[in-house]
Structure 1
Amino acid sequence: MSSSTTPGLTRFNAADVSEAQAALHEVCASEAWGSKILAQRPYADTEALFAASDAAMAELTADDLAEAMAGHPPIGRPKPGDPTSSREQRGMAGASDELKAEMLELNLAYQERFGHVFLICATGLTAEQMRDAVRNRIDNAPEHEREIVRGELVKINRIRLTRLAEGDAA
């Protein structure tokens, strides 16, 4: 990304606290993450925003991560009326009924094992790739899986922050 400030980033830097908090909550549901990002405004460029986001994500506790994950619907079941989750999970849209049913079963098994939704940066992935990922990760140790989830949240946040910085709220 360029080193100049984008129109969306300029708006974010200048927004009042409640408006900026709301924008950040759309990126990530963790209040701790949002507070850390908010406290470091203004950002010189998108790379500075990414660096702050990545650092804030690295510092999140297990409870903070759980709060962040709670903002994500299960794969294959985007929130009705939420263009962000629908866009990010586009790869599931053309999946067969059998694959959708298998994903539902895998999501439930994963959630039972780990106590939270299966989280993956789904942007650009096919339904088969998402299914294979949950199959591969379901046997992970909880501590290992938590760090994978943290990495997936970093990727998701960067995609969403790019949209915010470019001024594309839709």
Structure 2
Amino acid sequence: MASFSWTEEDVLRCCGSKRFSKELASASPFRDLHHAIQSAREIWFNKIDVAGWFEAFAARQAIGATSPSVSEWCKEEQSAGMVTATGTTLRELEEWNIRYKDKFGFVFLICASGRSTPETLAELKKRYLNRPLVELEIAAKEEMKIIELCLARLLESDARSNNSVINLRVSSSTTVGDRLGIIGAHLVASPQASSSKLPAISGSSSRPRPPITTHILDVARGTPASGMDVHLEMWKGTTQQPSFLNRESTEWVLLGSSTTNADGHSGQLMGIVDHITPGLYRMSFDTGKYAPAGFFPYVSIVFHVREDQTSEHFHVPLLQSPFSFSTYRGS
């Protein structure tokens, strides 16, 4: 199968971040769509800073708006669910878009393919209640979903223009444009399109990243926490799990270590596998080294991966300051 390359101008049709476009174009050539999307995700989440995210957000039109967006493909994606919208619903959506942008400073982003207008409006209202840092992460993930759809359409368009066969890893009975949704971090069919039997993009692992990830935000400074050491361990003791009193047991086995980059993201802490081993995991952060004057010398977060969760993704972020910290399970 032939490989392919994209220019910065090509990628800019899919994402308004100039640095992202330059980085992805530089990562060419790609073996197939799966390779291209894996590269795009790595760049978006590990190399693009918050300013780059905002630049991309600014290039998007608001849901339900009719002004130009990055490209007609992306505009089609964002407006797909608006076809049957009533005037009343559109007016309410417009009002909530204004509220959202006033609160967070950027337009409401959602991969709208396969969603009705009421569903989109309900999600907007729900996310409006989020804290800014939480909503920023969600918006970045939704932007990546939109980028993935646009890249798929870009490749399909290139294949048609060149009258050549490119490995899209899509069955002959369907096209990339038929993919109506993105769930989690994978390209899949939306529930509304389940009857299409669209195949997932294949590869050595269906995951684009390790099953356990983290990033750290310094809420005292309002910036990502770069240069913090992170360790991931798994409980391998003779008991099912350590008790509260022996939580510092040597039966914790180190899986991987990393130091956060300028965007607060850690490197890979474990291998990329389809199914994670169920059990107890511990992620530890060297907050004392990062902020010597702080109250906490280190922070350890212990969490449980259950038997029915082995194919799920566990994002365990840390929001920290010298005298407090919090966490949550991300996606």
State the TM-score, normalizing by the size of structure 2. 0.45
- From 46, 62, 66, give the equivalent of 2:54: 66
Which structure's relative contact order is higher, taking Cα pairs within 8 Å and 6+ residues apart? 1
Kindly indicate whether the alpha-carbon contact (under 8 Å) linking 1:74 and 1:107 is maintained by their aligned counterparts in 2: yes
In the alignment, structure 2 segments of 5+ residues that lack a partner are 162-176, 178-331
State the TM-score, normalizing by the size of structure 1. 0.85
1:123 is displaced (CA, Å) by 1.4
Alignment: residue pair count: 157
1:86 is displaced (CA, Å) by 3.9
2:68 paired with 1:77? no
2:25 paired with 1:29? no
Cα offsets for 1:75-133 (capped at 9, x unmatched): 11033596324411121122111100100110000000001100111112110111011
- From 109, 128, 134, give the equivalent of 1:144: 134
Question: What is the RMSD of the two structures over their aligned residues, measured on CA atoms?
Answer: 2.0
1:46 is displaced (CA, Å) by 0.9
For 1:26, the aligned partner's letter is R
| Alignment match, 1:154 | 144
Change (3 A) 1:106 1:76: same
DSSP 3-state at the match of 2:16? coil
Kindly indicate whether the alpha-carbon contact (under 8 Å) linking 1:79 and 1:85 is maintained by their aligned counterparts in 2: no
- Alpha-carbon distance in structure 2 between the residues aligned to 1:167 and 1:101: 34
The structure in which a higher percent of residues are strand is 2
In the alignment, structure 1 segments of 5+ residues that lack a partner are none
DSSP 3-state at the match of 1:57? helix
Kindly indicate whether the alpha-carbon contact (under 8 Å) linking 2:9 and 2:21 is maintained by their aligned counterparts in 1: no
The structure in which a higher percent of residues are helix is 1
Kindly indicate whether the alpha-carbon contact (under 8 Å) linking 1:78 and 1:85 is maintained by their aligned counterparts in 2: no
Work out the percentage of aligned pairs sharing the same amino acid.
26
Runs of 4+ deviating beyond 4 Å: none
DSSP 3-state at the match of 1:134? helix
| Structure with the greater alpha carbon radius of gyration | 2
Q: How does 1:93-132 map to 2 (within 5 A)?
A: 93-132=83-122
